[in-house]
Amino acid sequence: MSAALRAAQAPRKPALTGAPGVAFLFPGQGSQYPGMGSGLYESEPEFARWIDQGAEILAPILDLDLRTLLCAGDPGDEEMAQALRETRLTQPALFLTQYANARLWMARGIAPVAMIGHSVGEFAAATLAGVMEFETGLRLIAKRGALMQAQPAGAMLSVRAPMEALEPHLDGSVDVAARNAPRLNVLSGTFEAIEAMEARLKAADIACARLHTSHAFHSVMMDPVQDALEQALAETRLTPPTIPYVSCVTGTWITEAEATDPAYWARQARATVNFQEAVTTLTAELPAILLEVGVGGTLSAFARQTLPREADVAIVQSLPDHTRAETDDLAMAKAFGQLWAAGAEVDWAKLGPRGQTRVPLPTYPFQRKLHWIDPPKPGGAETRPQIAQDAPAALPVAAPQPILQKDLQMAAAPVETVDRKPRLVTELLALLSDISGEDLSPDDAGASFLELGFDSLFLGQVSQKLGADYGIELTFRQLLGSYPSVAAVAAHLDETMPPETAAPAAAPAPAPQPAAPVAAAPAATVAPTLPAASLGTALPADGSMVAVMQAQLAAMQQVIAQQMALLSGGAQPAAPAPAPAPFAAPQPTAQAAPAATSTEDDEPPKRGFSIGRSTNASGGDLTPAQLAFAQDLARRYSARSPKSKAYVQKYRSVLADPRTAAGFRAEWKELVFPVVCDRSKGSRIWDIDGNEYIDLVNGFGQTAFGHSPDFVIEAVTRQMERGFAIGPQSDMAGPVAERFARFVGHERATFCNTGSEAVMAAMRIARTVTGRDRIVVFSNDYHGQFDEVLVKGKKSVTDPAALPISPGIPRTSLANMVVLPYDNADSLAWVRDNIRTVAAVIVEPVQSRHPDLRPRDFVASLRDITREGGAALVMDEVVTGFRVGPRGMQGVWGIEGDMATYGKVVGGGMPIGMLAGSAKYMDALDGGMWSFGDDSVPETMPTFFAGTFVRHPLIVAAVDATLDHLERHGDALWTATAERTANAVAQMNAGLTARGLPPMIETYSSWFVPHLTEYDANAALLFPLMREAGIHTQIGYPCIVTTAHTEA
């Protein structure tokens, strides 16, 4: 008895096998839409059989035939979508679709070795595992849905933060409904409690968004469901699972005792769904491919966010989400291929006859031909053999006859070529490792550059390096399209470069060669004896491969000419006199890649700075429906703005502007052109076609008060009337600098042309004052466009460095730069250990491309370390300065830098950069304070800093007017605009989660950053779609809200 009890309580785990098995993932509520699976219902009898059977069982229970929603529904039908949001229908609809999809996979030979079910999905997993019969599972899930529908309405809140950051705010008023990923949790409770929690989390700068749900699932509001559900299960026969699965209640393998306990299933309706721990448990113990069974890719996204980057786990999606970007059949076919590619054992025969046609393939390898262009002839004497005078002027025309044997014996030994592709692969991997810092292995040779995480900017560097090392021109677009992997590039190099020959071995003394035999001739004719080939022609002294091949071909041509002359009855031409020349071993024309292979590791990719541009990579082949959609959008977009498009084309050859090609993909190149602006005012711009837009680009952050604010125009106009001389000191420069320094809380200030220039000045000052060279920056910060700050880091914090992020930046110029992970304890340790060698630590307190990350404690620790170590802390407030408050993030956090850089907002729309800081550092610009009429002198050694247009009178006037406006109306930007931005982003993220997608829009203060293209590269089409709808946005840049924007 005790042994049986222990067996029932032991986890039911799968047996490990050699090949990776397939684990089914069944999603929960939120992924449903009308018409889900309708394509499979029409084309797959196995899928239709289970849908029909289930719909008939459920019809009297639901008083509805689910097939009207599942098989005939349209995702765009709002009435049907609303009906399917009722949890009494949602739960059985999802269960039935998932179960039918799972049965279809099994009919195709893909059986699960393990499973995970998220909430409702656990019933599908249990039914497939045999815990309950199919009809029983249907009735139970319908009962569960009806019981939950009868409970009072509630609310749910998605929170984008780790549990450690969330726990201090949990006071018992809400429950944790789900732990989906390390930084993605869901809270559940009453409307009042969720509303209060939302306000509390936003006040703490924790991103959160309301979910569109009818009830507070997995919360205390579901307690009344448990008793009734347990009673219904007590009347049901439950049996131990025959397929192991991981419980999302416990986060570990289900036991027989749990699976057959009605109390477990009652508790499952109330307990937290711990998908994060469940998928971690499964992948840690089982080499499995994760296959999401059912519609959408919600669990696929959660799994990708949970599993470490180095985890070798394939994640596959079965069916499309509500957008129906591809048909059900195509999605299943792609999934089948992905399973096979990931190593799953598939039975192709079980796909069944589907109208395919067998085509014969040749049984021989395709013949490759190389066609070489001869190099220019050398200026000296001709060194090739003279053939023309030796060959007969014309050959007589005669009836063909068997003349020569197939094996014509040559006196010269054949040249053996070298198989160099393995060497090329090794060299290319070393080259990529050296440029990227990634530690690449031979296994990476077949992976696409996109799979390796390399974007177009990186591939531009690779393109340059290939040209320098191999003399082969490959554009970065070719590396994305025609040659997308190391193996493909190696094959291309091998085909393109001249062949290499093996070093000739020492040959024995040549034996006499017999004359080439002739086939039998007519009886009355005696065949003449053919001469051996004469090899007296000189081989070229330079030993180049092309020249050697030419000489060999010439010798062969000479032999053939002699033999043909004899066979045609002519005299044997006299062989030319030998002219031997030393044979030099030919050298390959390609230069070897650098011998030393860098073992530097790039940091894992994170959301954040990518120098403001989208990857020009293809997101993979588009389906016919997707391509038709993109092309139709291109036609509409082009028709809407023909003048803008014509303008860009007209000046493309002369105006070098990278923004005209942002988001380029060949599939939709016709819509890759920017809006050409005619005029602007407030929150709106008008293009040269007369279209009106609400602007969300807003000068990439420098427009805070709307376009062309009246107070700036008036101030600049007044100054223009007075003149704007460059050279003499502006009479406004001193008063405005004094006012600016007082505003931001620093002792001294200076003017620059741009924010980049301000950062450059801060670095130079810090090096001057400290006498040190090393500068520390952090991953995903953006500090401008000069070489030293266009850097990325490595994984290793123990041996950090700086690598260039684009072509044209020499690594030698980065020798004094260090890039560390932001908000990382190891980074603090490195700075603390090396602070005596550091001139400055530069921080972008809230990263412009990652505003959710606001690590105050980390920056406070940097402040303490730099103060103790005599290094400067530079706060880069070009984005946050004057946007988040009068003193920027330094005021918000109460942390003051030794210097701070500013720009954008303070110019009121005019180009500006400013640097402020303590006198200790700022004195290095001019020597410091001294006075007339006494013996004072500049005490500080100055560095060089100058610029023709700094303190431009028109710009100084604009800054003065902007400071005036901020003193009177700053709250409109710092409070009201920030609140409107937060509300808008909450609505957008709620829209994403309602469609089964994670919230992908980050925000802080009055800007937000959509990360949609990181989820799906085809989301780049959102930006032209928004412009078509009259919202001006640009791919790769934050969206900026101004005081001129109002509530809709």
pLDDT 10s digits, 882-936: 899 889 999 999 999 999 999 888 888 899 999 999 999 999 988 888 888 888 8
**Which residues 6+ apart lie within 8 Å of 495 measured at CB?**
368, 370
Element (H, E) at 355: none
Categorize the per-residue pLDDT at 605 as very low, low, confident or very high, splitting at 50, 70 and 90. very low
pLDDT tens track for 926-961: 888 888 888 887 777 788 877 777 888 999 999 999
User: Please, what is the average pLDDT of the chain?
Assistant: 80
Q: Where in the chain is the domain with CATH 3.40.366.10?
A: 22-149+224-344
Distance between CA atoms of 685 and 675, rounded to whole angstroms?
10
% helix, strand, coil for the chain, step of 5: 40, 10, 45
Closest CA to 615 of 459, 464, 425, 765: 459
Catalytic position from the list 782, 921, 1004, 1037 = 782
Question: What are the two backbone dihedrals, phi and then psi, of residue 349, each rounded to the nearest 5 degrees?
Answer: -65, -30
Q: Which of 837, 390, 703, 795 is closest to 573 using CA atoms?
A: 390
CB 719 within 8 A of CB 957: yes
| Count of Cβ atoms closer than 10 Å to residue 343 Cβ | 16
φ and ψ at residue 423, rounded to 5 degrees? -65, -40
pLDDT band at 501 (very low <50, low <70, confident <90, very high): low
Domain spanning 22-149+224-344: which CATH class is it, in words?
Answer: alpha beta
Contacts of 199 (CB under 8 A, 6+ apart): none
CATH of 421-496, one of 3.90.1150.10, 1.10.1200.10, 3.40.50.720, 1.20.140.70: 1.10.1200.10
- Average pLDDT, integer, range 955-969: 91
Here the tokens at position 519 are: 């086939």
Query: pLDDT tens digit string along 33-49?
Result: 888 988 899 889 999 99
Q: Give the per-residue pLDDT at 581.
A: 39
pLDDT band at 322 (very low <50, low <70, confident <90, very high): confident
Tell me what the mean pLDDT of segment 502-530 comes to. Answer: 43
Question: How buried is residue 223: exposed, middle or buried, by Cβ count under 10 Å (0-12/13-18/19+)?
Answer: exposed
Tens of pLDDT, residue by residue over 1031-1040, are 999 988 899 9
pLDDT digits (tens, 9 = 90+) for 644-698: 999 999 999 999 888 778 778 888 889 889 999 999 999 999 999 999 999 999 9
Q: Which parts of 182-259 are beta strand (E)?
A: 184-189, 207-211, 245-246
Query: Cα dist. 150→69, 96, 119, 147, 216 in Å?
Result: 22, 22, 18, 5, 12
DSSP 270-320: TS-B-HHHHHHHHHHH--EEEEEEEESSHHHHHHHHHS-TT----EEEEE-
Q: Which of 876, 898, 923, 960 is catalytic?
A: 876
* Residue 889 φ/ψ, nearest 5 degrees: -70, -25
For residue 419, indicate whether it is catalytic.
no
Fold of 725-846+854-951: Aspartate Aminotransferase; domain 2 (3.40.640)
User: Looking at the domain 154-213, which fold is it?
Assistant: Alpha-Beta Plaits (3.30.70)
- Listed in order, the ranges of the chain carrying CATH 3.30.70.250 are 154-213
Q: Where in the chain is the domain with CATH 3.40.640.10?
A: 725-846+854-951
pTM given for the model:
0.51
Out of 175, 794, 904, 923, which one is annotated catalytic? 904
**Can you give the length of the chain in residues?**
1048
Q: Give the helix/strand (H/E) hosting 458.
A: helix 456-470
User: Is 647 considered catalytic here?
Assistant: no
- At which residue do the structure tokens 């049996």 appear? 239
Classify 246 as helix, strand or coil. strand
Q: Residue written as tokens 């059985």?
A: 92
Is 13 noted as a catalytic residue in this protein? no
